[in-house]
Amino acid sequence: MSSITTEGCRASVGGWTVHRAALLLIFLALLVLWSPAAAKIIVEPGPAELPTDGINVDDERFVPVWQAYSPLEFLTILLLIHCPLLAMPFEIICSAGVLAFLGYRTSRCPLDNKKRSRIYACIRDHPGITPTEIARATGINRGTTRYHLSRLREAGLVSAVNRDGRVGYFRRGYDATSKTICCHLRNNTRREILALLLDDPGITQSEIADDTGISRSAAAWHLQRLDADGLIESDRDGRAVRYALTDEALEIFVVLERGDHGRAC
């Protein structure tokens, strides 16, 4: 059944193609044969006093289409009638000329926008800052802040890190460990703990709790978070456990203090 249907379709398509070709030939024949009648020009006699120079103005003269146009012009008209796509290059050139005449908007630096530049400066000076904090610091509403942050990310000028449901933004130049440290430094309690570990390596959990004014369980929770991110190391000394920053974390703190990544986190 499928083969019969396919053959029938092919036959119908072939018949339709032949039919269209026949119609095209008939149209061209009529165009050639009837063009004198279609292009007939009637010359009316002028005033008697005008010289005729041997031309009988009372006669009717027929001008065929192929005589009204040159062969090249006639062929061009036929081609454009039957193949309009041939005019596409000319249309493209004309469109390009119009665009060149009217001008076009050139791409600008993403930081040319004043609000976006302020947001970028805020991120540069405060690595790991959240969109809410950016909006508060710059005085720009949150919706506009989110829009400009997305444009900065598209341009590759800033990146975002999501930690514990908190999204922090950084400019280019921060590695993963630097971003992690800056995110922890945005937390006031962890900032104090990191400062204690930096100033007094080998400090115990009890000493951290006493110096920061938090409970020992809270100190243990914050230390676990820092240890999970590979920022601290522990060493058991009898019953006490002493904590210190890892070598990599120490190097990053030195870089941050030098200001190579901008101001302090």
pLDDT for the residue numbered 47: 54
Q: Whole-model pTM? A: 0.53
Q: Which CATH number fits domain 110-171: 1.10.3720.10, 1.10.10.10, 1.10.287.40, 1.20.1250.20?
A: 1.10.10.10
Query: What would the 3-class secondary structure string for the chain be?
Result: CHHHHHHHHHHHHHHHHHHHHHHHHHHHHHHHHHHHHHCEECCCCCCCCCCCCCCCCCCCEECCHHHHCCHHHHHHHHHHHHCHHHHHHHHHHHHHHHHHHHCCCCCCCHHHCHHHHHHHHHHHHCCCECHHHHHHHHCCCHHHHHHHHHHHHHCCCEEEEEECCEEEEEECCCCHHHHHHHHHHCCHHHHHHHHHHHHCCCEEHHHHHHHHCCCHHHHHHHHHHHHHCCCEEEEEECCEEEEEECHHHHHHHHHHHHCCCCCCC
**How sure is the predictor about 5, in pLDDT bands with cuts at 50, 70 and 90?**
very low
Q: Which CATH number fits domain 176-258: 1.10.10.10, 3.40.109.10, 3.30.870.10, 3.40.980.10?
A: 1.10.10.10
The full set of domain ranges for the chain reads: 110-171, 176-258
Confirm whether 110-171 and 176-258 share one CATH topology.
Answer: yes
**How sure is the predictor about 37, in pLDDT bands with cuts at 50, 70 and 90?**
very low
Q: What is the pLDDT of residues 123-182, one digit of tens each?
A: 999 989 999 999 999 999 999 999 999 999 999 999 988 887 888 999 988 888 888 888
